[in-house]
């Protein structure tokens, strides 16, 4: 935002013609927007202690200390970059914001039919919803998954679920033993247009300060794009929506009480790590205590999915 104000001042003081003003705006934005900075202004990767976030993507910073002052609010990211004639130079612009399938070996949380409600339209059944999205990118996996899951589901869960859809209460509807019989693509848990791929992921730390202990664990993957900070998951997901090519967000608290004056360790502040692929939990091997005595708390994964589009 600030660069636009600067540009307005520039245009006003020099009396540029409107067309020149447009050019000046483009130049100004290209020189200051996060979109033209490596990793959108983030320095390094979020699983290293010496990294720093590119921006803060919620509306109110929780502190105004000198470290927080250095972090800009999120701008519109590469919407500038991708709207210019040089868009072909940037890989992130070429494919746009794709809706991807869930990664292989992913068993995300999902809801049974009687606890299920679609994000936007509530009247269509899950089967209708699945067929309605058949022309989307999710179709190949959705159709193959449903063909294999349909047999098991129809005998085990789907039929009783459908018949008791009106009477059963959500409170009684969480037997995890039969959860695997339900196709998560047909009954997704969605946040905005993202499938909740995992929540509060933990695993046993294989090395570092916490070796042998069950710890929260975050993603490390080559498809990393940038990371931001926020005070809500939905702000993280909205930021990913603004970054061309971003399809996956891993949110977590990077807790280090001794350094909680640093933005990324501030209490209540989420790290939002953005990726261009939906990263499997196989790659969640940042369990903290590896180059820093930090801990990863409440690690959630959100994969942009055709199953969650409205
Ligand atoms: C996350 O998992 C840990 C370890 O199992 C547990 O102690 C904690 O209560 C969980 N947090 C939430 C918010 O579910």
Classify the C-alpha dihedral 79-85-91-95 as positive or negative.
Answer: positive
pLDDT of residue 139: 32
Does the predicted model carry a pTM greater than 0.85? no
204 pocket-lining for ligand 1 (C-beta < 6 Å): no
CA-CA distance, 280 to 59, in Å (whole number)? 30
Could you tell me the distance, in angstroms and rounded to a whole number, from the CA of residue 299 to the centre of ligand 1? 10
**Per-residue pLDDT tens digits for 113-128:** 555 454 443 333 443 3
Question: Which residue CA neighbors atom 5 of ligand 1 most closely?
Answer: 202
**Per-residue pLDDT tens digits for 197-243:** 999 999 999 999 999 999 999 999 999 999 999 999 999 999 998 88
DSSP string, 181-219: GS-TTTSB-EETTEEEEESS-EEE--SSTTTTSEEE-B-
Task: Please state, rounded to an integer, the average pLDDT across all residues of the chain.
Answer: 72
The angle formed by the CA atoms of residues 227, 232 and 237, to the nearest 5 degrees, is 55
pLDDT of residue 106: 64
Tokens in use for 246? Answer: 């971003």
298 pocket-lining for ligand 1 (C-beta < 6 Å): yes
Could you tell me the distance, in angstroms and rounded to a whole number, from the CA of residue 87 to the centre of ligand 1? 43
59 pocket-lining for ligand 1 (C-beta < 6 Å): no
200 pocket-lining for ligand 1 (C-beta < 6 Å): yes
**Per-residue pLDDT tens digits for 251-285:** 999 999 999 999 999 999 999 999 988 999 999 99
**Per-residue pLDDT tens digits for 156-206:** 333 333 333 333 333 333 334 344 456 666 778 889 989 999 999 999 999
Three-state DSSP class for residue 28: helix
pLDDT of residue 184: 66
Question: Which residue CA neighbors atom 10 of ligand 1 most closely?
Answer: 200
Mean pLDDT throughout 135-145? 34
pLDDT band at 140 (very low <50, low <70, confident <90, very high): very low
Contact, 201 vs 298, CB < 8 A? no
- Using alpha carbons, list the distances in angstroms from residue 147 to 143, 172, 186: 6, 28, 11
Say what percent of the chain tops pLDDT 90.
Answer: 43
63 pocket-lining for ligand 1 (C-beta < 6 Å): no
**Per-residue pLDDT tens digits for 29-84:** 444 678 777 888 899 999 999 999 999 999 999 999 999 999 999 987 766 666 77
pLDDT of residue 9: 37
Question: Which residue CA neighbors atom 1 of ligand 1 most closely?
Answer: 200
Residue ranges of domains in the chain: 37-310
């Amino acid at each position: 935002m600030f660069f636009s104000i600067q540009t307005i001042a520039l245009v006003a003081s020099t009396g540029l013609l409107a067309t020149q003003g447009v050019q000046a705006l483009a130049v100004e934005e290209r020189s200051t927007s996060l979109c033209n900075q490596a990793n959108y202004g983030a320095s390094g990767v979020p699983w290293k202690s010496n990294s720093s976030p590119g921006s803060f993507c919620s509306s109110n910073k929780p502190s105004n200390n000198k470290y927080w002052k250095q972090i800009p609010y999120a701008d519109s990211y590469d919407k500038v970059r991708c709207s210019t004639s040089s868009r072909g130079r940037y890989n992130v612009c070429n494919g746009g914001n794709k809706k991807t399938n869930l990664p292989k070996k992913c068993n995300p949380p999902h809801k049974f039919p009687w606890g299920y409600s679609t994000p936007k339209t509530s009247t269509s059944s899950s089967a209708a919803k699945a067929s309605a999205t058949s022309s989307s990118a999710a179709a190949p996996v959705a159709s193959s998954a449903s063909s294999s899951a349909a047999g098991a589901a129809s005998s085990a869960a789907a039929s009783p679920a459908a018949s008791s859809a009106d009477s059963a209460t959500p409170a009684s509807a969480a037997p995890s033993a039969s959860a695997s019989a339900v196709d998560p693509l047909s009954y997704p848990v969605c946040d905005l247009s993202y499938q909740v791929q995992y929540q509060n992921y933990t695993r046993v730390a294989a090395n570092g300060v916490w070796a042998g202990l069950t710890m929260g664990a975050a993603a490390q993957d080559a498809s990393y794009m940038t990371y931001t900070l926020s005070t809500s998951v939905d702000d993280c997901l909205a930021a990913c929506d603004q970054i061309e090519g971003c399809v996956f967000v891993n949110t977590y608290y990077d807790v280090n009480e001794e350094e909680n004056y640093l933005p990324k360790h501030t209490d209540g502040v989420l790290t939002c790590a953005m990726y261009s692929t939906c990263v499997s939990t196989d790659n969640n091997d940042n369990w903290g205590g590896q180059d820093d005595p930090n801990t990863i708390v409440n690690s959630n994964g959100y994969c942009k999915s055709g199953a969650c589009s409205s």
